[in-house]
Structures are given as C-alpha cells and as structure tokens.
Structure 1
Amino acid sequence: MRLHGLEFPDDRLYAPEHNLWLREEADGAVTLGLTAYGCALYGEIFAFTPKRDGWHIEEERSFGVVEFAKAASSARSPLAGTLLVSNDAVVRQPGLINRDCYGAGWMVRLRPDDWAAARGRFVSGQAALDAFAERMRLDAFDPDGEQVQALRRD
C-alpha cells in the first residue's frame, strides 16, 4: 500500500498516532518499528537509545529515545508489555531505520500484557491509509518535501 509515495506494507498493523507499525510474531511477541511517514517527519535518525531488555513498558510510556537532526523524541509504546529485545543493529547504526524501516530497521520486540484486548485498537489496510492521510492533513505534511523524496519507492 502507498500513500504520497510512502510505503505501508499490508502485512502490518499500525498505530498512526505514534507513527509506528506492529507485527505479530509466531511466539506471541510484537515487533514495533517506525513507519515511513515517521521517517519522513523525523528526517535522518542519528541515535536510538532503547530501554533495557526486561523492562516493563506501560502504554503511552517510552520504550526508547530517537534522536534526529534538530531534536530528540521519546518513542511511546502504543501498548503495555515487557521489552524482550531491542534491535542492536539499529542501536549501532540508527540510519538503518531510515533505510529499511519495515525490515532490518525494526526497533523493539515486546511481550504484550494483553494482546487480545490491545490488538483491536490498531488499524490495517485501507483503514490505516485513511488514518495516515488524516494525520498528514493535520500535520500539514508536504508530500513533495526533500525527506519524502528520499523515501519514495515509486
């Protein structure tokens, strides 16, 4: 799926208000990563500092800090759970998030406290595209901006 040239794979769930994607893993874990839209908003990412493995993350609380060109931002979790593992490759090479946000640039894996209850809050497919289109409208997002052009795959 694409919106303004940005990719949103249809095999993911999305938390548009957090600019994060979520993927259910076979072992019950949930992998989180920054969306292409999040990458376009932040620009080049210079550092990702996650919380420690084993740390319990409350919903809406930080699972790490993302540093980019002009600021830093707390990466807030859209669900409560225990941080199983952070992506060491991204910690060492944070630009990997920009280069492959849906693949090797994933950020953390959580063991959700109650995935069955939380899962329904996330969107996929056309609902995800509609939600991101609204976020872009509210953010006065420029789809022709330089950061977006760097991420385009069409």
Structure 2
Amino acid sequence: MELADRAACTGRSGLNWLLHRAAQKLGAAIQEAAARHDLTARGQLVLTALCAEEDSRRTQLALGQALGLDKTTLTAELDRLERAGLIVREPHPNDRRVRVPVITDRGRSVQDEVAELHQRVEREFTAHLAPQQCRELQATLERLIASCGGPDSGSCL
C-alpha cells in the first residue's frame, strides 16, 4: 500500500471514521424513533428477532448469542419488555429451568410501528442518494461484512 493510500485511511476521511460516524447518526435517529414507543433501539431489535422466529422459538441464551448480547444486557432488556407487556417468558418445553421469550400481540403491534418508523428514518437518512446508490451502498456493506469470514459476532448495537 502506498503512503498516500494509507493516509487516506486515517483521520476524518478514514473508512472506520466514516462508517462509525454514519452509524452514530443513523443510530441516534433510530433510537429517537424507538423512544416514541418507550423502547430502546436494542428492545426493538429483540422484538424484531422474536417476530422473525415465532415458529422456532429460541431460549434466552440462544437469542442473546444470535444478537451478540451478553446475558446481563439481554436479561435487563427482556425485563423491560416484559414489564411493558411486549413479551412473556415461557418455560422451555424440555427444561422448565430455561425460559423462552415470546412476543405478545401488543409487542408485535409495537414492533410493526417502530419498524415502519425505522424504515422512514433510513429513507430520510439516505434521501440525498439516488435509489441505485442506496442499493449499491447496502450491497457493498453486505460484501464487506461477509468478506471478513467466520461467524457474524458482536452486538448489533
């Protein structure tokens, strides 16, 4: 790599900085949308995961691993969601010591509304890009993530 190329990867124009700042700005707008329904962005992520897997329910441990959330963080989030009536935790059919978080009808309704808000936020965030540029950006980010190999680990938030 030439010195000029390396210099372009540092400071305010570096890829890490640009991706991080874009994620911060989008994340703040997403959090604001979730807060309109008294949710955190992480809570909405949990509700989304529970909606997606309704036919194959995961234990709390498996859900945490899938979302890259440690046990303490996930338990606190599930507690909040349960107090709000958005989920219930049922005993696992094969091991009553294990709990399975299940989204409620109210939780599904809130998740749908917040997901719609998130889509609007993403559209507003990328409004200055042409539709083709948005598709290319998403495809490029997906390729970058996939090119790292190995499991997709780490917190989503």
**TM-score normalised per structure 2:** 0.27
Structure index of larger Rg: 2
Higher RCO, 1 vs 2 (CA within 8 Å, ≥6 residues apart): 1
